[in-house]
Each structure stands twice: as C-alpha cells, then as structure tokens.
Structure 1
Amino acid sequence: MKLESNATIQIQKPVEKVFEGIVNPAKMTNYFISESSGQLETGKDVIWKFPEFPERFPITDVKVETNRSISFVWDPETIVTITLEKLPDNSTIVRVNENGKELNDKNLTWALENSGGWANFLACMKAYLEYGIQLRKGAFDFMRKQ
C-alpha cells in the first residue's frame, strides 16, 4: 500500500494568477521558499532553498501543464502533483497530492506531517495571492538549526 498526503483550498483569484504564483519564483519566494534557481518548467530541474533550513532541495522531473497542473519530485520516493481547477466565479481550487511512500510507521508520520505542510503551503499562498500577506515570514524561525 502506498501512502499519500493531500491538501486542498479555494483561492479567490483567476487560475492564471494562481498558476503564475506557483511556477514563478519571484512570487513563490513571498510565501513558500526563500530562493529558487529558476522557474518551474517541463523538463527543467531547479533547486529550492527554504528560510528555515540550511539544505537546498533539488526539484526534478518537473512537468507543467499551463493553468492546469504542476508535478515534480523532491523526495525520490514521492511525486508531488498540484492541480488547478477554474471555477465559474473566477476563483481557483488548488489540490496538492504527494504520494509514493510504502506504508510503515516512519512513512505514516511523514504522511501526517506533509499533509499539514501542504495545508500550510496553501494557506500561505492564499494569504499572499489574495491579500499580499506573507504568513510564512518568521513562522518557522524556531526550526533553524543553531
């Protein structure tokens, strides 16, 4: 049995703006990462840096379908898929699914933590795209390795 982590939110912005907010590092650095080596594009690998960790994370196997979906690998055991659904009121439902790990105690903890992590990603993205608020700023300073 494979485990998966899921999170969903509705953002009161057009699908084009939400998509741009995910693939464009100039946008994403305002609510999720602190640095990126480039834009998310099909076939292009990038490196992400988070403000609370010294490590850099390779983002590989990137697949982008404009205004519909973004998928990538950042953990060799899992695939992250972000899907966008345009609604009649011009808002967007964003769904994040990360799956692929085998069921065991360690990976069950991973699934629970990542579900919360992706929910945080979505809440931070919503706050930034709708209101220009940077919820993530300073939120995880306590996690920095001393």
Structure 2
Amino acid sequence: MSEQNDLAELSFTVSGHVSRPPAEVYEAVADPDQLSKYFTTGGARGRLEPGADVTWDFDDFPGRFPVTVVEATPPDRLVIEWDAKAAAAGRSVTTTTFEFAPVDDGARTLVTISEAAWEVSADGSRNAFDNCMGWTGMFAALKAWLEHGINLREGFYR
C-alpha cells in the first residue's frame, strides 16, 4: 500500500550570498530609496517596518502593489504579505520571508527569500513560478547593486 501525501500549498525558496554585511543588505531591502534604485523601478514608498504604508511600483509591470509588513527584525529578517490571484484556500495573500544570515564573520550575508501560500493548481503553479523568477531576479539585482553599483533591471523586461 502506498502512502499519499497531500500538498496543501505551493512554496519556494531562493538563496545566495552577497559580499556585504547583513545590516547593509537588510537596509538595501527595507529602505525604499535603495530598493527603488535596483528593484522597484517605478518607486517604493514606505520603509519595510510594521505599520508603514508601503507600496511598490515597477516601470515594467505598471501599477502600485500594496505591501503589508508582518515582521521586521533588523538585520536578520523581514516578512511581508501581498495580494495573490491564486493564493491557497482561505487566503488572499502570499507571505514572503527574507532572511539575512552572517557568513565569514559578518563580511558576507547569506540571503534567503521564501514565498508561500500558492494554491495547488495550474494558476497557482504559474503564479508561484512567475514570482520565483521575480524574487530570483530581485536577489541578483540586489547583489549586483550592492557589490558593483549596477542596476540589472534597467531595460531588462522591455
């Protein structure tokens, strides 16, 4: 007899290293001015901290996206939620967690970005894969910006 494991929701994790200390990497994500320089090409409004009115806009995907900050623990962790078209049953948002772990005595940072709460369906899979690509791109853009001052998103999507 085979054991059946039911998958309740889809999630993913991407990670890699940035050659900067955790506090610097955390700030590059939490600070709207910095985030606007390499990721939210249409501008970020509001610092990623609980209670802040935060929106993200992307020139290549126009429209302001409201972002709810669930947790902000500098320089270790940020947790946000935002609307999802194909969220898991009983949910209308997905949860994205950024973790910043010191490596090499704090000279480098292991960045881990996880997103969860996509429904197990064709639409949920498509949206989860799209967002996985988006967060991978964000992570690469973060690394290029902090280590080399290069904006990878400029002209990338159009």
Percent identity of the aligned residues? 32
- Find runs of 4+ consecutive structure 1 residues off by over 3 angstroms: none
| Aligned equivalent of 2:155, options 116, 138, 145 | 138
What is the rounded CA distance, in whole Å, between the counterparts of 1:21 and 1:61 in structure 2? 16
AA aligned opposite 2:16: I
Q: 1:63 to 1:45 in 2, by over 3 A?
A: farther
| 1:101 aligned onto 2:109 | no
AA aligned opposite 2:55: I
Q: TM-score, normalised by structure 1?
A: 0.91
What is the rounded CA distance, in whole Å, between the counterparts of 2:69 and 2:46 in structure 1? 14
Q: 1:32 to 1:38 in 2, by over 3 A?
A: same
Structure 1 residue 37: deviation in Å? Answer: 1.9
Corresponding residue for residue 44 of structure 2: 36
1:79 is paired with a residue of what secondary structure? strand
Instruction: Write out per-residue CA displacement over residues 19-48 of structure 1, whole angstroms, 9 at most, x where no aligned residue.
Output: 110001111111110212211112223111
Q: Unpaired runs of 5+ in structure 2?
A: 1-7, 84-91
Equivalence map 1:15-34=2 (5 Å): 15-33=22-40, 34=42
Corresponding residue for residue 103 of structure 2: 87
Is residue 5–residue 114 contact of structure 1 (8 Å, CA) maintained in 2? no
Q: Unpaired runs of 5+ in structure 1?
A: 142-146
What is the alpha-carbon root mean square deviation over aligned residues?
1.2
Corresponding residue for residue 10 of structure 1: 17
Q: Aligned residue pairs: how many?
A: 141
Corresponding residue for residue 64 of structure 2: 56
Is residue 51–residue 69 contact of structure 2 (8 Å, CA) maintained in 1? yes
AA aligned opposite 1:130: E
Work out which of the two has the higher radius of gyration on C-alpha atoms and give 1 or 2. 2
Structure 1 residue 108: deviation in Å? Answer: 1.0
| 1:77 aligned onto 2:90 | no
What is the rounded CA distance, in whole Å, between the counterparts of 1:124 and 1:31 in structure 2? 6
AA aligned opposite 1:69: R
Instruction: Write out per-residue CA displacement over residues 63-120 of structure 1, whole angstroms, 9 at most, x where no aligned residue.
Output: 2001011111112331111011011241001111110122111111112221111111
